[in-house]
Structure 1
């Protein structure tokens, strides 16, 4: 799905789920991530295929960090 076709609501949903997605990747459980979410994360450049495996991009790492900071900051 092209980046431009991802709605604001969908982007917010993906942002909320990115930390659990990152956790799944860290545990080597990419199979736990919905295929449509993977497609959208790749379109947003938050995930990338690397050597046959998924990993967070620098952008994805930054989005995770921003999300964590927003939760931790009162």
Structure 2
């Protein structure tokens, strides 16, 4: 496990699917243990019309659940 205190930003890419949710849960656990939760950013890259309706909102909701900052790119 890397030393998370060495990073300015801990970026997690999220599609809002089950794998992304599992990743966020693990990142949250590790970030809490290292006391660096304020450095975690969840990034969702939208797929436009190819994305299921509501996916972007779900990714944002998942990030909020852990208290992580959320960003999206189009």
Report which of the two has the higher share of strand: 2
Normalising by the residue count of structure 1, what TM-score does the alignment of the two structures yield? 0.32
Normalising by the residue count of structure 2, what TM-score does the alignment of the two structures yield? 0.32
